[in-house]
Structure 1
Amino acid sequence: MSSALGDVDKSTENPGGSPSSPSADGLKAGLKNRHLSMIAIGGVIGAGLFVGSASGIAAAGPGILLSYALVGAMVVFVMRMLGEMAAADPSSGSFSAYADRALGRWAGFSIGWLYWFFWVVVLAVEATAGARILEGWVPAVPQWGWALIVMVVLTATNLVSVGSYGEFEFWFAGIKVVAIAAFIVLGALAVFGVLPGSDHPAVGLSNLTGHGGFLPHGPGAILTGILMVVFSFMGSEIVTLAAGESEDPRRAVTQATNSVIWRIGVFYLGSILVVVTLLRWDDPAIVAKGSYVAALDSIGIPHAGQIMNVIVLTAVLSCLNSGLYTASRMAFSLGRRGDAPRAFARTVRGGVPQTAILASVVFGFVAVGFNYLWPKTVFQFLLNSSGAVALFVWLVICCSQLRMRKIILREAPEKLVVRMWLYPYLTWATIAMITFVLGYMLTDGSDGGGRIQVLLSVLVAALVVGIALVRTRLGAGRSGEQEPHEVEASAEV
C-alpha cells in the first residue's frame, strides 16, 4: 500500500503548473508567486498593530518591546512547525488537516470549526471598524450601509476566482508594507534629528531609559503587555492555507517560513521601537491619538490622522479579505473530510468553493447584525468565546508537529525540506509558553477580560470537542472523496 503522506501530497502538489491548473482537491492554482510573497509579508501586519499598540505602550512602557519580542519568538516557532508540515504536504486545510492525521479526527474537526468560527467573528469586527472610518468620510451613508457594501464587494471578489483574492490582497498588503517601511525610515531619521523639514529635536535613545527607566512599571508589566499584543499576530498562518492554491506550494511555504523572522522583526519590533524612541512612553498623545498618529504628528507630518485612517482602513480590508478566504477554505477542507456539509467541498468553474464562501459570509452577516443589535450581550459573547482560539490553534499546531515529524520521517523523509529547530525540545518549550500565556490570562486582574475570554473559549471548545467525540463514536463516515489510506494514517497514530 502506498504511503498516506505520499498520496495526499501528490493530490495537492502542482509544481510549475499554470494558474488555471487544478489541484486534485478541486481548487485551482490561481495564486502567483508574487501573491504568495505579499500575503506572507503582509499577513503579519494586522489592524491590531496600528490600533492596539498604544494601550500596550501605556501598560509596559518601552518594555513593550520585550512583550512583542517574546510573542514574536513564539509565533516564529509555531510558523516553523507549521511550515515543516505544510512543506511536506501542502493542504487547503493546513493545521486542521495535520491535526486530523496526527492527533485524530476529533482534533481536526474541532480546531477546524473553532478556526472558522474565529474568522467569522473577525469578519463582523473588521466590517464594523471599516464602516466607522468610511462613515466619517461620507456620513451620508449610514455605518451599517458601509459594512454591507464592504462585505458585498469582498464577497464578490472571492467568488470570482482565487486570483482575484490574491490580486486584492497583493495591493492591500503592499500598501501596508510601504506604509510601515516609510514610517520606520522617517521615524529613525527624526530620532537622530536628520529628517529634512522637521523641527523634532534629536532624542537618540534617551526615551528608552528615561522617564522611569526601560521598565517603569516593573518586570511584571512585560506579561501584561504580552496579553495585549498576542492577538495582533494572528494571521501569520494564512499563507500555509493559500499555498495549496499556488503554482508551487512547497516553494511558497518554504520561503514564507524562512522569512517570518525578519518580517516580525522589521514590521513589529522595528515600528514599535521607532514609536517608543521618538516619544516618551507616557506622552498623553500616544493613548489619545494612537501611537503611530502621535509619532507622525510629532515629526510634523501633515494630516497624520487621515493618513493613518487610510492605512488602518487598508489593514481592515486586508483582514476582511483574508478572513473570508481563510474561513471558506477551512469550511471547504472540513467538507472534503466529511466534517461539514458535503456541499462545502464542491467547487464551481474557476475552482472556487462557492457554497463554502457564501456560508461563511452568511454567518459573517449574522454576526454583523448582532454587533449592531446587541453589541453588549450577544456580540460580546461571540467576541469573548472566540478570543483565545488563536492560542488554541497554535497549541494544536505544536502538538500535531510532535507526531507529524515521525510520520513524515517514516513515510517520506525526502519531503522534510523545512525542519523545526531543536526538535522536540523547542516544540515542548513553545507548548509551555502558550500554556503559560493561557494560564496567565486566567489570573488577569485588570478588568477580567482575559479570564472571561479563556473561560468562554474553553467552554465553546469543549462543546465542539464533545460534538466531535460523539460523531466519532457514532461512526460518522467520511465524504466519498476521502481516500482509505487517510483513515489508516489517522488510526496508525
Structure 2
Amino acid sequence: MSGSDQQLQAGLKSRHITMLSIAGVIGAGLFVGSAEAIKLAGPSVLISYTLAGTLVVLVMRMLGEMATAHPDSGSFSTYADRALGRWAGFSIGWLYWWFWVVVIPVEAIAGAAILSNWTGIDQWIFALIITLLLMGTNLLSVGNYGEFEFWFALVKVVAIVAFIAVGLLGIFGLLPNSDVSGISHLWTEGFAPGGFQGILAAMLTTMFTFMGTEIVTIAAAESGDPAGGIRRAVNSVIWRISLFYLGSIFVVVSLVAWNSPNLGDAGSYQATLDVLGLGSLNWVLDLVILTAVASCLNSALYTASRMAFSLSKRGDAPRSWSTVAARGVPTWAILASTAFGFVGVIGNYVFGEEMFGYLLATSGAIALFVYLVIALSQLRMRALLDAEGAKPLVRMWAFPYLTIAAIAFIAVTLVLMAVLEGQRLQLWLSVGLAAAIVGIGIYLHGTSRKASPESLESDARGGH
C-alpha cells in the first residue's frame, strides 16, 4: 500500500544520526579541493576555515533551536514558511533542492573518474552505475540510507584521524622516510601570501565544503528521538570542525609548502603523504575519496528527496512527490531528484565541462542564502516559540546579538563575492536563479507572513 496520507518512516537509528552528524557531509572537497583554498591563502587558510566554521557553528545553533522545537523533514524551509511567509519557505526550499540535485552529478562524475582511472572503462558508465546503486538504496528504506551513510562516515572518520596522527608523527620527526618535519612551512614561504584578500577568497572557497552540516536536522525527523539527535549534533559541531577541518588542514600547511606544485597536482592529503614518504598509500586515499564521494552523493539524493517531499506536502511541488511507499520512503521525490541528477551527468558528457561549469555556478552562493534565511527565520521564530511556550533543547547564544552579527557577516560576504574576481560569476548566476524562484514564490503566495497549515504542525509531516 502507498499513498500521500502516509508519513515517512522513523527508520533511522541513533547511531545513524550520530555518525551522520559527525562526518556525513565531509566530501572530496576536504581531501582534494582544500588544495585550492591553500593556494589562495597559504597557511592563513586556517583563518579562512575558522571564519567559515564559526559562521556554521552559529547557524547550526540557530537552526538547532527551531529544529528541536519542531523537528521536520523540511527543516529550515518550513521554519522560513512560518517565520517569514510562504514565499520564503517556497523559495529557499526550491533553492536548496536545486543545490543538492546539482551535487548529484558532481559527485557521480568525481567517483566515476577514480574508477575509470583504475579500470580504463568509460567514465559515464561508472557515473550511471554509482547513481543507480545509491538511488536503489534510498528507494528501499530510510534505514538503508542510514546504514550506508553510517559506514561511509565511519571510513572518513578513521581516515582523517589516521591522517592527523601520521601527520603529527611527521611534524615531530618520528617517521623514518619523511622528507620534512616541524611546522616551519607555516611561515617560511609567508603565512598570508595573498593578504586579506587571499583569506577572504579562501573562505568563500571553503564555504562550499561546510554545506550539508544542516542535513542532520532533516534526517533526525525520521528517527525515534529527533530532538535529542539534533541537540547532540548541534553541541558537537565545534569539535567536529576543529578536528576534521582545522586539524587536518593544519597538518597539511605545516608539512607542505603552500606554493608546492605537488599540492596543486595531487591534492592536499596526497601531497602530504608524498612528503612523508608514504606515497605508496595513495591507493588507500583514493578509496577514501571514493567513499567520500559516494557518501555525498548518497546524502544529496536523500536530502533533495526530503526537501521535495516537504515542498509537495505544503502544495509547493508536484503532488506525487509526497506519495510515500509502504516502505516509508517518498518514491517519486527520490526518482524525480535522481532524474535531474542524470540530466546533469548527461549534460557534462554531451555539452562539455564548460557548460556544466555554468550549471554548477548557479549553486555557488546558495549556501549563504540558506544560512541567511536560517538566521532571519530564527530572529523571528524566537518570539513565536516563546509565545507558544515551547522549550527547545537548544537555545541560541546571546540572542539577538549573535544572530544579528551572523546576518551582517553573511551580507558582507555576499558583497565581497561581488567585488572579488573569481567569485562574481557564481554570485550573479546564483542571484539570478534566486531572483527567479523568489519571484515565482511571491507570485504564488504574496508577501504576507501567513504560513501553510503544514508548517504550523509540530513534528510536521516529517517523521512519525
Aligned with 1:344: secondary structure? helix
Name the residue aligned to 1:9.
none
Give yes or no for the alignment of 1:116 onto 2:97: yes
State the TM-score, normalizing by the size of structure 1: 0.89
Give yes or no for the alignment of 1:170 onto 2:150: yes
Amino acid across the alignment from 1:191: I
Give yes or no for the alignment of 1:274 onto 2:251: yes
Q: Decide which of 441, 456, 469 is 2:429's aligned counterpart.
A: 456
Name the residue aligned to 1:444.
420
Aligned with 1:419: secondary structure? coil
Report the Cα offset of residue 280 of structure 1: 2.2
Name the residue aligned to 2:410.
434
Amino acid across the alignment from 1:429: A
Whole-Å separation in 1 of the counterparts to 2:233 and 2:455: 32
The answer to whether the Cα contact below 8 Å between 1:46 and 1:233 also exists between their aligned partners in 2 is no
Structure 1, residues 210-258: CA drift from partner, whole Å, max 9, x if none? 223x223323321121122111111101100000001100100000000
Q: Which runs of 5+ in 1 are unaligned?
A: 1-23
The answer to whether the Cα contact below 8 Å between 1:409 and 1:416 also exists between their aligned partners in 2 is no
Pairs within 5 Å for 1:376-387: 376=353, 378-387=355-364
Whole-Å separation in 2 of the counterparts to 1:395 and 1:478: 19
Name the residue aligned to 2:139.
159
Whole-Å separation in 2 of the counterparts to 1:424 and 1:334: 29
Give yes or no for the alignment of 1:252 onto 2:229: yes
Name the residue aligned to 1:208.
186
The count of residues paired between Structure 1 and Structure 2 equals 454
Pairs within 5 Å for 1:173-188: 173-188=153-168
Q: Decide which of 309, 324, 335 is 2:301's aligned counterpart.
A: 324
Aligned with 1:281: secondary structure? coil
The answer to whether the Cα contact below 8 Å between 1:337 and 1:478 also exists between their aligned partners in 2 is no
Pairs within 5 Å for 1:218-229: 218-229=195-206
Name the residue aligned to 1:471.
444
Query: Share of identical aligned residues, percent?
Result: 56
Judging changes above 3 Å, is the alpha-carbon distance between structure 1 residues 72 and 336 closer, same or farther for their aligned structure 2 residues? same
The answer to whether the Cα contact below 8 Å between 1:133 and 1:309 also exists between their aligned partners in 2 is yes
Report the Cα offset of residue 381 of structure 1: 2.7
Pairs within 5 Å for 1:86-97: 86-97=67-78
Name the residue aligned to 1:7.
none
Q: Decide which of 353, 367, 370 is 1:393's aligned counterpart.
A: 370
Report the Cα offset of residue 474 of structure 1: 12
Moved more, 54-63 or 320-329: 54-63
Judging changes above 3 Å, is the alpha-carbon distance between structure 1 residues 103 and 134 closer, same or farther for their aligned structure 2 residues? same
Whole-Å separation in 2 of the counterparts to 1:231 and 1:122: 11
Name the residue aligned to 2:383.
406
The answer to whether the Cα contact below 8 Å between 2:178 and 2:277 also exists between their aligned partners in 1 is yes
Give yes or no for the alignment of 1:417 onto 2:393: yes
Whole-Å separation in 2 of the counterparts to 1:121 and 1:164: 23
The answer to whether the Cα contact below 8 Å between 2:24 and 2:149 also exists between their aligned partners in 1 is no
Whole-Å separation in 2 of the counterparts to 1:361 and 1:73: 33
Aligned with 2:420: secondary structure? coil
Name the residue aligned to 2:174.
194
Report the Cα offset of residue 435 of structure 1: 1.2
The answer to whether the Cα contact below 8 Å between 2:62 and 2:378 also exists between their aligned partners in 1 is yes
Whole-Å separation in 2 of the counterparts to 1:234 and 1:61: 23
Q: Decide which of 105, 108, 111 is 2:86's aligned counterpart.
A: 105
Report the Cα offset of residue 377 of structure 1: 5.3
The answer to whether the Cα contact below 8 Å between 2:39 and 2:258 also exists between their aligned partners in 1 is yes
Report the Cα offset of residue 302 of structure 1: 4.1
Amino acid across the alignment from 1:426: L
Q: Which runs of 5+ in 2 are unaligned?
A: none
Report the Cα offset of residue 109 of structure 1: 0.4
Whole-Å separation in 2 of the counterparts to 1:336 and 1:133: 39
Pairs within 5 Å for 1:48-87: 48-87=29-68
The answer to whether the Cα contact below 8 Å between 2:102 and 2:344 also exists between their aligned partners in 1 is yes
The answer to whether the Cα contact below 8 Å between 1:29 and 1:245 also exists between their aligned partners in 2 is yes
Runs of 4+ in 1 over 6 A off after TM superposition: none
Whole-Å separation in 1 of the counterparts to 2:28 and 2:21: 16
Q: Tell me: higher relative CO, structure 1 or 2? Use CA pairs within 8 A at least 6 residues apart.
A: 2
Report the Cα offset of residue 309 of structure 1: 1.4
